[in-house]
Structure 1
Amino acid sequence: MTGAYALHALPDDERESFERHLAGCEPCAQETAELAATAARLGLALSAPPRPEMREQVLRRITTVRQQPPGPPDAPRPGRTALRARRLSRWALAACLAAAAALGGTAVWQYERAEDAREQARRAEQGAEEIAAVLAAPDATTRAAALGDGATGAVVVSRDRDRAVFVASGMARPPGGKVYQLWFDDGGAMRSAGLMDPGRADQAVLMEGAVDGASALGITVEPEGGSRRPTSAPVALMELPA
């Protein structure tokens, strides 16, 4: 069942039963971690980002296309007085002036949100490309391990690129206000390698910074936003592949 579990293809009852088995079976935990890392490498290595011009078109339209206003009221019936028409015109003019003032601020807000979305998309695309490059590197080597509670992890290292990717599967959500933080172990000195997404049980994380002379990877639970130095005992400590 290791292959089906690594691909998230088991029904809930079989998945729970298999996770109970994983907690006490080191060979199955090791095989599951290796299969999960391989699946991530295959998937990310073959991913293709959308055309840059498509993203630019969508983000540009965010700043230029306004929400469709409500439909107009029923047309007035013939015979209504000119006084009522003038009153409606004054109300319409006042509404237009108020809307123009509001839309000035809305346009600025939309532009700022579009710029934020553009920057986030650029970073996400760049990160995905870097992860895929490490996972698909000819010299990439992998080391997998069970992390406890049914979770598995694998670290993929490319010495030529001097970068590492951590692939996690089945990670439990950290306590509220906390986050998993990755560390490079430089001969006993811990160097921050970035944060994991606390809302995702399965993820591939490009570790921040060069591998350099690091010999191991550590995971700790830290306050939201991360810490400059570890403040808790390691959740896991894995040797980096040679």
Structure 2
Amino acid sequence: MTTEIHTLVGAYVLDAVDDIERAAFERHLRECDSCRAEVDEFRETTAHLAHDTWSVPPPWLRENVMAEVASTRQLPPMVPEAPAAPSARGLSRRRWLVSAAAVVVAAAGAGAAVYAVQDQRVRDQRQIAEAARLNEARVRQILAAPDVVLREQPVSTGGRVTVASSRLQNAGVVLLAAESAPAGRVFQLWTIRPGADPANAGVLAEGQSADVVVLEGLPGATDVALTLEPPGGSAAPTSALLADVKLA
């Protein structure tokens, strides 16, 4: 057994040793009460830091580290005639301090990352809420137009498609309320214009069978159609029309 093995306490707890060092240190632990005590203390420290209730480093850890810094004797200067060899205990404590400081930095970074993620989620939710508010206001504006025209047609598989169109607003609102789509298929809306291929007007998510869609420039179209497509939608209709609302 060598004195250097005492210095592996911090690295062993943080799993920063190779297989040979781990095996040697675990044999040493069976004989060294001091190292066993340090391993237990360091594991308790890292367990506190890893607990999911901490998003920032606990205040007591910084105080403990600073207290250890103040009480730990520094290495003496190198003297060629009689170089002073630090004790195994001193090296172990310094290694513990380095490891603990690294844990503090990592925990602080994790706390900042958690805050950044939470802050981004708040911003995302605000943007979603604002988009929903603007969409609802636009729907009300189109439906309240003095020239709005309502047209509807049943869906062949059950349900109904209603289209409200306003030339003054140069827009329309499509209200879809259908029966559930078959497994592995989704509803997709299309606008049809003279001399042009059907254009995607909205793809519903899997399992979704109702939606309200605002279509700007709708009065220039002749039809609003509905088909069943693979999840994610298609570039062009791949199945028979389930509904075809004539606008002209």
Deviation at 1:223, TM superposition (A): 2.8
User: Is the 2:142–2:173 contact (alpha carbons within 8 Å) kept by the matching residues of 1?
Assistant: yes
Query: In the alignment, what sits opposite 2:18?
Result: none
| Number of positions where the alignment pairs a residue of Structure 1 with one of Structure 2 | 156
Partner SS state of residue 148, structure 1: coil
1:217 aligns with 2:224: yes
Q: For 1:205, which of 213, 234, 237 is the aligned residue? A: 213
Check if 1:233 corresponds to 2:240: yes
- Give the 3 Å change call, closer, same or farther, for CA 175–91 of structure 1 in structure 2: same
Give the match for residue 169 of structure 2: 161
Q: Percent identity?
A: 31
Question: AA paired with 1:231?
Answer: T
Paired residue type of 1:163:
A
Unaligned residue ranges in structure 2 (runs of 5+) = 1-36, 50-56, 58-103
What does residue range 127-138 of structure 1 map to in structure 2 within 5 Å? 127-138=135-146
- Map residues 1-242 of structure 1 onto 2, 5 A cutoff: 91=45, 95=49, 96=57, 97=104, 99-176=107-184, 178-187=185-194, 189=196, 190-207=198-215, 209-240=216-247, 242=248
Cα deviations across residues 125-183 of structure 1 (Å, max 9, x unaligned)?
A: 2111111211222211111221123312211111111111111224323532x322211
Provide, for residues 62-91 of structure 1, a one-character-per-residue CA deviation record: whole Å limited to 9, x for no partner.
xxxxxxxxxxxxxxxxxxxxx9xxx59x82
Letter in 2 for 1:225: G
Deviation at 1:200, TM superposition (A): 3.7
Structure 1 length as normaliser, TM-score? 0.55
Q: Which is further off, 194-203 or 136-145?
A: 194-203
Contact 1:184 1:218 in 2 (8 A): yes
Assess if the C-alpha contact under 8 Å between 1:145 and 1:152 holds in 2.
yes
2-side partners of 1:149 and 1:179: how far apart? 13
Q: How much does 1:203 deviate? A: 3.0
What amino acid is aligned across from residue 221 of structure 1 in structure 2? L
**Are the structure 2 counterparts of residues 157 and 174 from structure 1 closer, same or farther at C-alpha, using a change threshold of 3 Å?**
farther
* Unaligned segments of structure 1, at least 5 residues: 1-82
Contact 1:196 1:205 in 2 (8 A): no
Distance in 1, Cα, partners of 2:179 & 2:214: 17
Partner Cα separation in structure 2 for residue 93 and residue 120 of structure 1: 38
Once the two structures are TM-superposed, the CA of residue 191 in structure 1 deviates from its matched residue by 1.9
**Distance in structure 2 (CA, Å) of the matches to 1:201 and 1:193:** 15
For the 8 Å contact 1:168–1:203, the answer to whether it is kept is: yes
Give, in whole Å, the separation in 2 of the partners of 1:126 and 1:145: 27
